[in-house]
Amino acid sequence: MNRTENTESNRLTYSAILVDDAEPARELLRLMITELAPNVKIIGEAENVDHAIELIRNLNPDIVFLDIKMPGKTGLQLFDEFEDKKVPSEIIFTTAYNEYAIQALKLSAIDYLLKPIQENELVEAIKKAISTSERKQHAEKYKVLVSNLKQKENGILSIPLNYGNEYIKVNDIEFIEAERAYSYIHLNDATSKLVSKNMGYFEDVLQHFDSFIKPHRSYFINIDHIQTFSKKGEGGIISFKSGKKIEVSRNYRKQLLEKLSFLGHSL
């Protein structure tokens, strides 16, 4: 890595390159980094992926600010040019908005900067990029990202556990259960995992998967794993193929039944 010691501030200086086909966007980002992150030195700029690959290989920057949508190859195709998808730099993605690309980033637990870039989000992204603990996990996350981009029907979800990140197939999730600031992810093999993310996080990350719906304020379920639906109780009872059961709230019952009918599920 191209790090040098900054004797005035007694901090490490990190090298970076900017990759964006729009020169005004690069100029604005350059000014923001100069003002907000004086320990990050911009050593090169590229207007396309091929030029970015050349700079990465020749300059070996610590950080690459990478726009997703560019003419020709997209920023996400940069990984295809490196062996085993391992880019020797930390990537900070930037994007104006691309629903599918953002969904893949969220599934892979990879941060990105949404244009127009906010100052506090830029500072936080740089902190994460130069964090040793974060860097150790990024190589695996990038491989998961590439996998998620190739398959729209299924995906791989990155979940933070006590010992690090684990990766599970979205289709293997039976339901997610709220536990205050945490969540339990219940899988189709009847196992469960306690995750340090709240229910809202998973609702956001999985919102584009048609099979997920909320039948109760405490549950977010995958209807593909429903075995039976009973009308017992206030709103009903869902039995999953694993044998686990949850209650349906009266307030959510109508939308659940409509979703099941729309997707052709007969219970």
Q: What pLDDT sits at residue 263?
A: 60
Q: What pLDDT sits at residue 104?
A: 78
> DSSP letters along 163-203, please?
TEEEEEEGGGEEEEEEETTEEEEEETTS-EEEESS-HHHHH
Q: What pLDDT sits at residue 9?
A: 38
Q: Are both 83 and 184 inside the same structural domain?
A: no
3 state DSSP class of 11: strand
Q: Tell me the backbone φ, ψ of residue 204, rounded to 5 degrees.
A: -70, -50
Q: Are both 99 and 201 inside the same structural domain?
A: no
Q: What pLDDT sits at residue 119?
A: 96
> Which parts of the chain sit beneath pLDDT 50?
5-10
Q: Are both 22 and 84 inside the same structural domain?
A: yes
Q: What pLDDT sits at residue 101?
A: 73
Residue 42 lies in a domain: yes
3 state DSSP class of 266: coil
How big is the chain, counted in residues? 267
Token pair for 216: 């109760």
CATH number at residue 58: 3.40.50.2300
Q: Are both 90 and 168 inside the same structural domain?
A: no
Q: Give pTM, 2 decimals.
A: 0.63
d(CA 17, CA 75): 13
b/e 11-40 (16+ beta carbons within 10 angstroms → b):
eebbbbbbbbbeeebbeebeeebeeebeeb
230 within 8 A of 246, measured Cβ to Cβ = no
Q: What pLDDT sits at residue 106?
A: 81
Q: What pLDDT sits at residue 207?
A: 83
Q: What pLDDT sits at residue 7?
A: 39
Q: Are both 46 and 17 inside the same structural domain?
A: yes
CATH number at residue 193: 2.40.50.1020
Q: What is the pLDDT of residues 78-136, one digit of tens each?
A: 988 887 767 889 999 998 866 667 877 887 878 889 889 999 999 999 998 888 655 55
The last residue of one of the domains, among 150, 173, 194, is 150
Distances (CA, A) of 17 to 30, 55, 57, 220: 9, 8, 12, 40
Q: Are both 204 and 247 inside the same structural domain?
A: yes
> Which domain range does residue 237 map to?
156-262
Residue 38 lies in a domain: yes
The last residue of one of the domains, among 150, 166, 182, is 150
